[in-house]
Chains A and B, each alone.
Chain A
Amino acid sequence: MNREFIKSSVNWGVNDKGYYGDFGGAYIPEMLYPNVEELRTKYLDIIYDPSFQESFHKLLKDYVGRPSPLFLAGRLSEKYGARIFLKREDLNHTGAHKINNTVGQILLAQRLGKKRIIAETGAGQHGVATATVCALMGLECVVYMGEIDIQRQAPNVARMKMMGATVVPATSGSKTLKDATNEAMRDWINNPVDTHYIIGSVVGPHPYPDMVARFQAIISEETKAQLKEQTGSENPNIVMACVGGGSNAIGMFYHFLDDEDVRLIAIEAAGLGVESGESAATTALGKEGVLHGSRSILMQTNDGQVVEPYSISAGLDYPGIGPQHAHLFKTGRGEYVSATDDEAMDAGRLLAELEGIIPAIESAHALAHLDKMKFKGNETVVICLSGRGDKDLDNYMKHFNL
C-alpha cells in the first residue's frame, strides 16, 4: 500500500473540522449535508484502500499516460538565467491536469454506489475530463456550463456530447462558471441519493478541497522523483503554477508544502489589470467570505455579493480560490501574484517559439511571471504546465492575427 503519495501535510493540511487555519469548513444547506457527510466519513478509507490505489494508479498509467514528463526547457532556461523544468500535465489524456481528479473521483463514486455523475465546467476542460471518465465507466454524466461559456467553447461542448454527456446551460446570474457551479449544487440538492458531484478544483465544502488535492498530489509526487533523477536533488528552489480554483497549483505544491525552503508561487489572472475592474486576481481584490460551501477569499462587494471576474482564460475566470490557498496566502507560505491577459498571451507565444510547446492560456499565466522574477545564480524552477493550448487556438489567432 502506498500511503505516501496522499499523506497529509503536517503543517498545511486540513484539520479534523475541515479547516485550513481560518478557511474551509462546509457551509452548505441541510439538503447537501447527507451527501457531503457521506463523503467526509468515507473518502479517506476509500482512497487509502489498496484496491483503490491499484485501480487509480493503473488508470493514471495506462489511460491518462502518467507519469507526465518533467522537461528541462533549455532555451527558456537560457533566456531567464535559471534552470527551468516544465511538468508536462498538458500531455495527459484530454490535455490537462483535470483528469487526475476525475479519475480519482469516478473510482470513488463507484465505491459509493452512485449511478449518476454531475459536474460544472468553465472552459470545458473539467467537463471533458468528467465526460471522459463517465464514458470509461459507463455512468450517466450531466455537465453544467454557463450559457456564455457554451458559446465561447464550442469544441469542448462537442467533445462532451460525443462522449455521451448531457451539457446543460446555466442560464442564471452571469451565465459563467460560478453559475454553472450553482446549478450543479442545485442538481445535487434535487438528486440526493444516486448522484455524485465531481467538483473540478480544490474548492467546495470539506472534504472536497482535501480530496481533490490528494488526487492532484500525483503532480508533485512525480516531480520529486523526476527531479531527483535528473538533478540529484528532489527539491527545486521554486515551484510555480497558475490558480483558478487552485487544483493544479495545490497538486504542484503538495509534497513541497512541508519543505519550507521551497518557494511556492501562485499566479492568478489579472485580466486587463488588477485595478482595471476587469480582473480575476482574487487575493489582490478579494476579502474573506463564503462561496460554494467554503470560507475562503473571494471577490465581492461590501454587501457580500459575489463579483463577476474577468480573464481571457476561461479556466482562471473564477471569483474565489480554494481554502487551502487562502491559508497559504494569509500565512505567507505561498506567494500570490498575477499576470494580465497580454502578459500571458506573450508568454504562451514565447514558449511556442522557444520550446515548440503551445500552452493553455491558463498555464501561460504561470510562465508570464518568469519575466518579473530575479533569479539568484542558477536556481531550479518547476512550472506546472497544466494544459495544452489546442483549445485556445482561436484566442491565440485573434490575439496575434495568426
Chain B
Amino acid sequence: MNRLNELFKNKKSPILSIYFTAGYPDLNSTLDIAEALENGGADFIEIGFPYSDPVADGPVIQASSQVALKNGMTLPILFEQLKDLRKRVSIPVLLMGYVNPVLQYGVENFCNKAAEVGVDGIIVPDLPMYEYESLYKDCFLGNKLSNIFLVTPQTSEERIRKIDGLSNGFIYLLSSSSTTGKDLKVSNEADSYFQRIRDMNLQNPTMIGFGISDQKSFNKAAEYTRGAIVGSAFVKLLGTENALDRVGEFLKMIRG
C-alpha cells in the first residue's frame, strides 16, 4: 500500500487531484505549488515533467511545457527539487509525462529515484501496455509505484478489463477522446459511458480527468467515480499574478 492506495481506501467524499507542469511559471516553484495545493485541500497531485512534443496536450499545457523547458527544467533537476518533497508535502504525489524523457533518464533509474523522493505513482500516457507489462512492470511494482492507465469512451470492454488487471492505483477515465483542456461535454453520451464503466464493477477505483474546470464538471465526475483531476484550468491560474495566494480559493471554487 502506498499513499495513493491509502487515500482511496480511507476517503469517503469526492477526491480532487490537481495537475501542474514542473518548472512553470518558474523553474523553482515546484514544491511551493505542491505545498499550496496540499494546504488548499487537494487530495493528491500530479507533477508533470515537460516534453517538447506533448501530443496528448492542448494549448495550455503545451505552452506551460515550453516555458518550463525554456526555464531549464529537466528530470535530474526535478528529482533534485523533490529531495525535500516529503518534508513539505504529505498527500500522494504522482509524476506525469511522456515516455522519451523517461527512456533517456533510464527506466530503472527513474523508478528508483521516484520511490526515493517519495513519489507514489506514474502516468505516462504514451507508454504502451505491452511494453509496460514486458519491460517496466517489475520495476514499478518493486518500487511501490502505481502505474495509471487511461481509458476513453472508445476503449473496448475487454481492454478495460485488462487495464483493470494491470492497475494498482486508479484508472484514469477521459471524459471524451480529446487532448487536455477541452471542456467536459455534459451529454447523455458521456453519462452513459460513465454509467457503463461504473456497471463494470472494476477492482480499481476510477477518476475522471481532461476537461474538468469548475464545480459543475467536478460534481458530474463525482457522481459516477471517486472524483476528478483538474489540469489545464489550474495551469491557467498559475500563469496569473500572485497565483499561489489564490490556490485555496481555486480549489474551493472546484469543490463548491
Contact = CB atoms under 8 A, between A and B. Distances in A.
Interface in B174-232: 174, 177-179, 182
Interface stretch (B7-15, B87-95, B102-110): B102-110
B79 to A, nearest CB: 12
A300 B100 CA distance: 10
A29 B125 contact: yes
Contact of B51 (A25, A178, A185, A304): A304
Given A182-B53, A291-B53, A172 B101 contact: no
Interface in B104-154: 104-105, 125-128, 130-131, 149-152, 154
A290 B126 contact: yes
A302 interface: yes
Interface of B: 51-56, 58-59, 62, 66, 69, 74-76, 98-105, 125-128, 130-131, 149-152, 154-156, 159, 174, 177-179, 182
Contact of B56 (A25, A189, A192): A189
Interface in A266-300: 287-293, 300
Contact of B101 (A27, A182, A190, A304): A304
B53 A306 contact: yes
Contacts, number: 109
Interface in A26-81: 26-31, 33-34
B82 to A, nearest CB: 16
A290 B59 contact: no
B126 A28 contact: yes
A303 interface: yes
B104 A289 contact: yes
B102 A304 contact: yes
A132 B102 CA distance: 40
Contacts of B98: 290
Interface residues of A, number: 34
A15 interface: no
Contacts of A287: 104
Contacts of B55: 29, 182, 185-186, 189, 292
B126 A306 contact: no
Given A25-B128, A26-B128, A31 B104 contact: no
A178 B53 contact: yes
A292 B52 CA distance: 12
Contacts of A290: 98-100, 103, 126
A305 interface: yes
The list of the 7 closest CB pairs from A to B, nearest first, reads A304-B104, A304-B101, A29-B125, A192-B177, A30-B150, A34-B154, A303-B74
A27 B104 contact: no
Nearest to B56: A29
A173 B53 contact: yes
Contact of A192 (B53, B58, B152): B152
A311 B177 CA distance: 36
